[in-house]
Amino acid sequence: MILTLAIIIGLIATLVRSRLTNRTLTLPKFRLEWLVFVSVIPQVLTFYIPIVGQRIPEAVVPVIQFITMLGLLVFCAFNFFQPGVWLLGLGLVSNFLVIFLNGGWMPILPETLHRMVPTQPIEIWEVGARLGLTKDKIFTYEDVNLVFLIDRFTLPEWIPYKVAFSLGDIFISIGVVVLLWSLSRKQEE
Amino acid sequence: MFSSIFNKLSVVFRTMDVRMLVFVLMLVLFVIGAGAPGATGLNIGN
């Protein structure tokens, strides 16, 4: 949700800025754009299309994660000097590292889940289980590598939508806003 | 009814830069691939 929100905020902000300053939105010249499309398709199938995701064995999911994120890392490396891309890359590296060092899964703690759903006892969260068809698996604190990079942040309780996100997701969100904001900058900048 | 919808859609596509759409789509895909938010929309009797 924070990632989608970042895109919406960035788009609105840059559109308003371009309208107020009478500037035309200018797209950055990316290299290897196609790599993003090709890399992410397996993830879309695995995590966002349940009828496909359910048929993919859990043992294969970490491999899909690894390969697709590697493709995105190459894209970031080739476009490092475009506005905001270093932040996107930083977020991607953070998520990649923590996923890679935890067996191909993004760890989430039972404590985090309990914070999100306090009405349920913490025992319902079975350690080692995958959380639905997401990238997350439930780990104990002791078993996690790089605990500061896992999905440990949650939204305030008064927001009905529940989601846990990582430091990497925060970097990516800021990078998205910076990149979109740069579309309406002066040509000389 | 359908013709009016199609007319509106054709106006939208005439005025919208396709490259911009591709760029936003690329950004959405990047975010899907690089981001790892968990337990999205979790709701268990809450």
Over the stretch A19-48, which tens digit does the pLDDT of each residue have? Answer: 899 888 889 999 999 999 999 999 999 999
Proportion of chain A in helix, strand, coil states, percent, rounded to 5: 55, 5, 40
Closest-CA residue of chain B to A136:
B38
Chain A residues inside the 8 Å CB shell of B43: 117, 162
Average pLDDT of A170-174? Answer: 96
Average pLDDT of A136-144? Answer: 94
Partner-chain residue, chosen from A1, A40, A113, that has the shortest CB–CB distance to B29: A40
Taking the Cβ of residue B18 and every Cβ of chain A, the question of whether any pair is shorter than 8 Å is answered with no
E strands, chain A, where? 106-108, 136-138, 153-154, 164-165
Confidence (pLDDT) at B45: 45
For B28, the token pair is: 């959405």
What is the CA A177 to chain-centroid distance, rounded? 14
Over the stretch A102-124, which tens digit does the pLDDT of each residue have? Answer: 999 999 999 999 988 888 888 88
Which of A116, A122, A170 should we substitute to test contact with B (largest number of B Cβ atoms within 10 Å)?
A116
For B17, the token pair is: 């830069």
Taking the Cβ of residue B9 and every Cβ of chain A, the question of whether any pair is shorter than 8 Å is answered with no
Tell me the nearest-neighbour CA distance from B6 into chain A, angstroms. 25
Confidence band for A153, pLDDT divided at 50, 70 and 90: very high
Chain A residues inside the 8 Å CB shell of B27: 7, 176, 179-180
Q: Are residues A166 and B39, on separate chains, in Cβ contact within 8 Å? A: no
Confidence (pLDDT) at B13: 56
ipTM summary value: 0.92
Confidence (pLDDT) at B46: 41
